[in-house]
Chain A
Amino acid sequence: MAGTGQILIPLLTGLADAAGLFFVASGLTVIFGVTRVVNFAHGSLTMLGAYCGWSLISRLPPTPLGFALGALATMAILAVIGAGLEIGLLRRVYRAPELFQLLATFGVVLMAQDIVQWLWGVEDLALRRPPWLRAFVTLGGARFPRFDLVVIALFPLVFLLLWLLFTRTRWGRLVRAATEDREMVAALGVDQRLLFTSVFALGAALAGLGGVLMLPDASANLGMDLTTVTDAFVVVVVGGLGSLPGAALASLLIGLLQAFGIMLVPRATLALVFVVMAVVLVLRPNGLLGRPPGRDGGGGEARALVRPAPAVLRRFGLAVLVLAALAPLFLGPYALAVGTEMLIAMLFAASLHFMMGPGGMASFGHAAWFGIGAYASAFAVHLLAAPMPLGLLLAPLAAGATAALFGAFVVRLSGVYLAMLTLAFAQIVWAIAFQWVDLTGGDNGILGVWPARWAAGPRGFYWLALALAVAGTLGLRVILAAPFGHALRGARDSRRRAEAIGLPVTAIQLAAFALSGAQAGLAGGLYAYAKGSVFPTYISLGHSVDALLMVLLGGVATMSGPIVGALAYTGLYDVLLSATSLWRLVLGAAIIVLVLAAPEGIAGGALKLWQRVRPA
């Protein structure tokens, strides 16, 4: 009977995984459907659920009833936290552009990490497992944890309860109506604020349930926020944003795929999920059960024009540049190393800004191109024994070529789906770097990527980085002012109108995507030589998020935004890191304050101030 077990056990494991995915993803999809907020903090809510659950359940009697009570209490606590988050923060940014809501939720992610660490410490917290939690059932000759059977049973139960809630109650009908057209719901006399707050509370409670149910098999840990939210995004996007049945279906698909994939292709499990997501999005751009996006601005929105910088700003920029070029004469090696990192960050942010701002394509996976550039340089050194100039040439070429290849799929989508597909590709690249140990060294990375002798000192490399970063950033600026840049912005503002006047929109966007990838690759190559090593973390979601934060902090609508944002972010990061152990708390709070106070970013806010001081 061992044969049955070989199929049955992965099947059950897959179902248990699917259940866990569903609890978290259902909350995320419902929140997105109604509020249109891409809630990056959803993973943080799951993490909070796991930690709260651990604290409660550890203090309750070690019985099934105690566990159930602890889980329900956790859901209640998370519902309150979710409602508080909605009232305190998100309610104030609903009118802001989508990306600023995202930025605000990133701020929450950062703050939550430090708050959780401060309250519960850095150790992973595993639940003490009483006999009933350790129990196994024997199925087809193999053993399977009994608790996971409970989790599997909860999947259809929770789905059914949610289904009844959404179809049989007036609240549920209001939520479904608001998912389609929240403006019309308001015009019919429904107070959206109550609706949004309650939806957020429900979503957070579901995230909490997902967190608690992870405890018996795993533990509460500080990394689970980003891993959970990445998985949940995949489920929500594959299922179709805002679709509850879609989330259930996608959870099943991905849970089972992971369970069987580990048997079939054990070395590619990490990439498998994202490959599936990419395939689904390419075949069904709105997910399995998603609808085409409903009513939105329609593309007639007036945006800030790209104008040549005013003379004052140019003179200021030139002065800064001269100062930066002379810096090595009076700065020490540490300051120069920081300066080099800032310059690389600037190029990285400028490349993301190029596709996000003028290109209108927000990327959640921009670190992919940075990482490909870095690895290309490392391979050039180790496999080809190539000199540094060749390595630095290969970096943008490799990244640009890969971006052109992936971009062909990406530019067919728009909005959140586009951002998710870039995330999927980045995760695939990351998984390859992480799992293809023979080639990449896996987690240990590739060491010994040293620069040529003429650029080996901190001064020499600083000047090299300055030359390449400034040339790259200004190059992008020049392209934006050229006819290609006009066409790109035209395509962003209205794809259909741009097509109607004969612009090859897809080709233009693809070119912009590849160019942006190439510049990010150059930044990655520089970084590899600056650090002397490359690691999979260069491609991690966290690094992509760094780039997003830089661009959004600086302001998407201004050309100087990414420069200011990169310098502010890396500067703030370095200062905070050395000043306080709670740097994420401070950085997150700073981001949130900035979103509330200056939704145009630092450079955008400064521009507004400037215009107020000097009316045109």
Chain B
Amino acid sequence: MTAETALLAVEDLATFYGRAQILHGIAFTCGAGEVVVLLGRNGAGKSTTMKSLIGLLRPAQGRITFAGTDITGAEPHRIARLGLGYVPEERRVFAGLSVAENLDIGRQAPRPGLAPWTPARLYTLFPNLAAARDRAAGQMSGGEQQMLAIARTLMGNPRLVLLDEPSEGLSPLIVEHMAAAILALKAEGVGIVLAEQNLHFAERLGDRAVVIEKGSAVWAGSLAALAADDAARQRFLAVGVET
């Protein structure tokens, strides 16, 4: 897939926190219905990449194209309205608002070509939320908050969702649930960029992987190729070489 036809194309992205450069030229693409996994250790720059994409951090250099529009340096709400959804690592649900109110905050107009998400549909996808719809989000468990954070973003009918470590700190049962939901989204034709440290979770869901190390994309290819490339796994992720 080329930068011209991909739903999301990131070229040569560099971002600073104050004076410290965090990203040194990240590049990748993601298409509709595709799951691209950003792999890398803690502090490698996965979250910074996602914040740069949604506009919460302003890239110093590079180009981000989404759905045919150059969104480099655009304001977050404009990027979100183009159909780029963002689910932050810390979930950031509105603790004082009920589940139903949280969903309402994420609501955007239906997007042509996508079946619009409604609270009813989301309650089917995440049944735990249905039972808690009038509860304050701050009183829910971590797993439920993660579901709510995803559901809230889906209310904006995104074409592509940035999911920052959705499996982090969740019980195996909830992780299963999360994986099923992500596959359901993929089946709807939604593009997904997934930041993960959990290689097994990533391998189950991902089509392609980009390995990020110290703010640079150091390896890219299919997850099957990564599974076969013991040297790359050993070098970049220090996992998975079972003897």
Which residues of A are at the interface with B, using a C-beta cutoff of 8 A?
170, 173-174, 176-177, 180-181, 183-192, 291, 295, 301-302
Q: Select the stretch in B102-110, B115-123, B186-194, B219-227 that faces chain A.
A: B102-110
Choice from B81, B88, B96 contacting A189 with Cβ under 8 Å: B81
Q: Are B156 and A189 in contact (CB under 8 A)?
A: yes
The 4 A-B pairs of least Cβ separation, nearest first, read: A189-B80, A186-B76, A177-B94, A184-B92
Residues of A within 8 A of B152 (CB): 188
Q: Flag B78-112 by CB within 8 Å of A: 1 or 0 each.
A: 00110000101000101111000110111110000
Q: Are A180 and B96 in contact (CB under 8 A)?
A: yes
Q: Are A302 and B19 in contact (CB under 8 A)?
A: yes
Q: Are A186 and B105 in contact (CB under 8 A)?
A: no
Q: Are B96 and A173 in contact (CB under 8 A)?
A: no
Report the bound CA distance from A185 to B104 in whole Å: 11
Q: Are A177 and B18 in contact (CB under 8 A)?
A: no
Q: Is the interface of A mostly helix, strand, loop or mixed?
A: helix
* With A187-B56, A187-B86 as contacts: A177 and B75 at CB distance below 8 Å: no
Report the bound CA distance from A301 to B153 in whole Å: 29
Q: Are B97 and A176 in contact (CB under 8 A)?
A: yes
Residues of B within 8 A of A187 (CB): 54-56, 76-77, 80, 86, 88
Residues of B within 8 A of A302 (CB): 18-19
Report the bound CA distance from A184 to B94 in whole Å: 9
Residues of B within 8 A of A301 (CB): 18
Residues of A within 8 A of B153 (CB): 188
Q: Are A181 and B77 in contact (CB under 8 A)?
A: no
Further pairs besides A174-B105, A184-B92: 12, Cβ < 8 Å: A173-B97, A176-B96, A176-B97, A177-B102, A186-B56, A186-B76, A187-B56, A187-B86, A188-B156, A189-B106, A302-B18, A302-B19
A-B contact pairs, 29 of them (CB 8 A): A170-B104, A174-B105, A176-B97, A177-B97, A177-B101, A177-B105, A180-B94, A181-B92, A184-B88, A184-B94, A186-B75, A186-B77, A186-B80, A187-B54, A187-B56, A187-B76, A187-B80, A187-B88, A188-B80, A188-B152, A189-B81, A189-B106, A189-B108, A189-B156, A190-B77, A192-B77, A301-B18, A302-B18, A302-B19
Residues of B within 8 A of A174 (CB): 105
Taking each of B104, B105, B156, which has the highest tally of chain A beta carbons within 10 Å of its own beta carbon?
A: B105
Report the bound CA distance from A189 to B75 in whole Å: 9
Residues of A within 8 A of B95 (CB): 180
Residues of B within 8 A of A170 (CB): 104, 107
Residues of B within 8 A of A192 (CB): 77
Report the bound CA distance from A189 to B154 in whole Å: 12
Report the bound CA distance from A191 to B108 in whole Å: 12
Q: Are B106 and A173 in contact (CB under 8 A)?
A: no
Report the bound CA distance from A490 to B105 in whole Å: 39
Which residues of B are at the interface with A, using a C-beta cutoff of 8 A?
18-19, 54-56, 75-77, 80-81, 86, 88, 92, 94-97, 101-102, 104-108, 152-153, 156
Report the bound CA distance from A48 to B174 in whole Å: 56
Q: Are B81 and A173 in contact (CB under 8 A)?
A: no
Residues of A within 8 A of B76 (CB): 183, 186-187
Q: Are B92 and A189 in contact (CB under 8 A)?
A: no
Determine the residue in chain B with the shortest Cβ distance to A303: B18
Report the bound CA distance from A27 to B56 in whole Å: 29
Determine the residue in chain B with the shortest Cβ distance to A186: B76
Determine the residue in chain B with the shortest Cβ distance to A243: B96
Choice from B19, B75, B105 contacting A185 with Cβ under 8 Å: B105
Report the bound CA distance from A185 to B96 in whole Å: 14
Q: Are A189 and B104 in contact (CB under 8 A)?
A: no
Report the bound CA distance from A170 to B97 in whole Å: 12
Q: Please give the distance in Å from A127's CB to the nearest CB on chain B.
A: 41
Residues of B within 8 A of A188 (CB): 77, 80, 86, 105-106, 152-153, 156
Report the bound CA distance from A288 to B182 in whole Å: 42
Q: Please give the distance in Å from A192's CB to the nearest CB on chain B.
A: 7
Taking each of B77, B96, B153, which has the highest tally of chain A beta carbons within 10 Å of its own beta carbon?
A: B77
Q: Please give the distance in Å from B78's CB to the nearest CB on chain A.
A: 8
Q: Are A173 and B101 in contact (CB under 8 A)?
A: yes
Q: Please give the distance in Å from B103's CB to the nearest CB on chain A.
A: 10
Q: Are B156 and A183 in contact (CB under 8 A)?
A: no
Residues of B within 8 A of A186 (CB): 55-56, 75-77, 80
Determine the residue in chain B with the shortest Cβ distance to A188: B106
Residues of A within 8 A of B107 (CB): 170
Taking each of A176, A188, A295, A301, which has the highest tally of chain B beta carbons within 10 Å of its own beta carbon?
A: A188
Report the bound CA distance from A336 to B150 in whole Å: 69
Q: Please give the distance in Å from B133's CB to the nearest CB on chain A.
A: 14
Residues of A within 8 A of B102 (CB): 177
Determine the residue in chain A with the shortest Cβ distance to B155: A188
Residues of B within 8 A of A291 (CB): 96
Report the bound CA distance from A185 to B108 in whole Å: 12
Report the bound CA distance from A188 to B79 in whole Å: 9
Residues of A within 8 A of B96 (CB): 176, 180, 291
Q: Are B105 and A173 in contact (CB under 8 A)?
A: yes
Choice from A173, A180, A183, A184 contacting B104 with Cβ under 8 Å: A173
Report the bound CA distance from A170 to B19 in whole Å: 39
Residues of A within 8 A of B105 (CB): 173-174, 177, 185, 188, 190
Residues of A within 8 A of B77 (CB): 186-192
Q: Please give the distance in Å from B98's CB to the nearest CB on chain A.
A: 9
Residues of B within 8 A of A295 (CB): 92
Residues of B within 8 A of A180 (CB): 94-97
Report the bound CA distance from A178 to B193 in whole Å: 26
Residues of B within 8 A of A190 (CB): 77, 105
Residues of A within 8 A of B88 (CB): 184, 187
Determine the residue in chain B with the shortest Cβ distance to A184: B92
Report the bound CA distance from A184 to B76 in whole Å: 9
Q: Please give the distance in Å from B33's CB to the nearest CB on chain A.
A: 22
Residues of B within 8 A of A177 (CB): 94, 97, 101-102, 105
Report the bound CA distance from A205 to B9 in whole Å: 46
